[in-house]
Structures are given as structure tokens and as C-alpha cells.
Structure 1
């Protein structure tokens, strides 16, 4: 039986190692192709111990099998200020739905909805007017794209999200099989709460 738990503040600290391992495992696959390490992940994930942040975690017994993170957008202002520079929405009115990671064998059972529901509830508690996330942009003919890959655009649209034209962030990470980090483009999607 899969159970979801809402983790905030100090409760996040006890889940950081599990969350780090999960992110590395899931983001190694298409479309992220991320070659990550636990030390970087632990450092990155401490941001989700901050006020207003949330981790919606899915457990199969004691094992974390999925999680979604979220935080007030201004906690990520350094990364996203340029992408949102032409937008009218103030960053302090946007809740950022960061990553959603779920092991493949647990997909298709409604956990994606539970992840968004938990983050939406946190955003509303904080009085946010918008919810946003970003997805990596990869070319359709990328040599590592699996033939059976199905984009999540339809799922996101059913949740009320739409891509924001021209609102694209750039992040660096090392792809599997590469020697160094390269810049990736990520498309922002947003909805009103």
C-alpha cells in the first residue's frame, strides 16, 4: 500500500538522503539524463527545509518511491529572475513546483495528482496566486530519446497548466556519458490557483 506524507521544516531533514537517491535514480532517465551525486543533492535539497517549502513523499512501507518538492518562487529568484523578467506576475505570488520524481514501477496510479495536490495546498496556504514549474527541453531527434517516450504535456494541461511563451531558464548539469556540465533550457509552465 502506497502512502503519501507531507513533509515540511525539520521533517524534511530526515528524508534528504532518500530524496537525494531518488532524484539521482529517476533523473538519470530521459529526458533529464542527469549524472548526479549524493553530496550535491544533499546540499541542493536543504532549500526544502526553508519556510513555505514542502516535500510530498510517497512511501511503499518504509521505502520512499516518489516525491515532489515545492517552495516559494522567491527562494529561487537568483535562478529564475531573468526568465520571469518580462512577466507581470510578481515572484512572491508564485509557488514553484520544483521536481517530481517517481520510480517507474509506481507510475500510473495517481501519485502524480497527489504530488500536485499537495503542492497546490501548500501554495494556497501561503496565499499564492500562481503555481509554476519547468520542464527540460530536448530535441525530438535526440539519440537517447526512447522510442516509447510519452511527454507529460497532456497531464500538465489537464491540471490547468500552460507553457509560458519565452519564459525559459537555463541550468547546467552533467549528462550521463559526458565529461562536463552543459547548459540545458527549461520551459516554464504556470496556472492560476
Structure 2
């Protein structure tokens, strides 16, 4: 396994593979994403437009099996910035973690922790952020597609030092598996202070 980091437009050669990976991983609960690779390519290119964006790639040989993204919140879409503005938190002081995706057969090897470590270290190196933040979808406990024995990642995130901020909320739209079209999905944020120092 190799971990590779790229920034901004340097991700361009990997965009098609990342779009396929995201579409595959996000079909699972809790996202249930009936996505399209064309949309994912467009989405990833918005990250590439920020020269300070970060892509952490996990490769098995030449195959991308996992990836994690981050971008200064000031460069993120308004749907992510707005809750912080409303709460009196300056988006300029927030580094936003887009998502982590990893093929199921590669889980349990520490890559999820590595994704957080790489993004946090990058936010520290940039030297101007007070917070690392990400958001997660909220699904009802009785959702019909919730797998038996499903365990949310709340404990994992808590062990990484992230605090759930239920007061920071937004809504994203996508098409669930089995839906006729897109619908709004409630999202809430998790935050962690960026420690001082390089």
C-alpha cells in the first residue's frame, strides 16, 4: 500500500478513478447514493480549482482503493460555509474535510486513521486554521435500508478528538437508491480544534 498526497490541479489524472471509487463506496448505507460518475467528476473538479485542496490517495499498486479530501472552507460551496457564518465562526479559520472513501476489503488496516492524520497535519502546516470540520448524513435508526448490526462512525470520530456539533447543520441533495429523484438529506458537523504549532 502506498499513500500519496496531491493538491489542486495535480489531482486531474486521478479524477476518473476517484469518481468511480466514490460512486461505488457511497452506494452503501448511510449514504445510499444513486450517483453518476459524470456528476462525481464535476464535483471533484471543484476541489481541484482550489490550489490548497488536499487529496490523500491510497494505492494498491497503481489502483486507487481509497481517498480522502480536504479544502479551506473559504473555497467550499456556500451550503457548507453558511452554518458557520450563522454561528459566528469565520469560515476562513476552518479547514473542511470533504469525505473519506475506502473499498470494504481494505478497511481495518488503519487507513481511516491515516486519512485523518494526513488532513490534520496539512491544516496545521497551512498555519491559519482554528478548526478542522466535516459533516455527516443523519439517518433515522429505523431506516428500512439500515443493515443489521450497522455501527455508525461516531465513536471512531470521537476517539480522533472530534465533537459533534448538532447546532451546525446543513442539507445536501442527492438521489437515494430507489428514489425517483433527488431529495434533501440532513447533515450535521463535527469539529476539532487545530493544535498550535507546525
Q: Shorter-chain TM-score category?
A: over 0.9
1:165 and 1:79 map into 2 onto residues whose CA distance is 16
1:84 and 1:135 map into 2 onto residues whose CA distance is 15
Answer whether contact 1:97 1:131 (CA < 8 A) is retained. Answer: yes
Partner of 1:28: 27
2:94 and 2:81 map into 1 onto residues whose CA distance is 12
1:78 and 1:88 map into 2 onto residues whose CA distance is 15
Partner of 1:6: 5
1:113 and 1:164 map into 2 onto residues whose CA distance is 21
Partner of 2:124: 124
TM-score if structure 1 supplies the norm length? 0.96
Partner of 2:83: 83
Counterpart check, 1:72 vs 2:72: yes
- Unmatched tracts of structure 1, length 5 or more: none
1:77 to partner: Cα distance: 4.6
2:9 and 2:76 map into 1 onto residues whose CA distance is 20
Partner of 2:109: 109
- Unmatched tracts of structure 2, length 5 or more: none
1:110 to partner: Cα distance: 0.4
Structure 1 stretch displaced more, 122-131 or 11-20: 122-131
Q: SS at the partner of 1:168?
A: strand
Partner of 1:154: 155
Shift >4 Å, 4+ stretches:
none
1:10 and 1:52 map into 2 onto residues whose CA distance is 10
Partner of 2:165: 164
Answer whether contact 1:12 1:48 (CA < 8 A) is retained. Answer: no
TM-score if structure 2 supplies the norm length? 0.93
Give the number of equivalent residue pairs. 192
Partner of 1:139: 140
Answer whether contact 2:57 2:68 (CA < 8 A) is retained. Answer: yes
Q: SS at the partner of 1:24?
A: helix
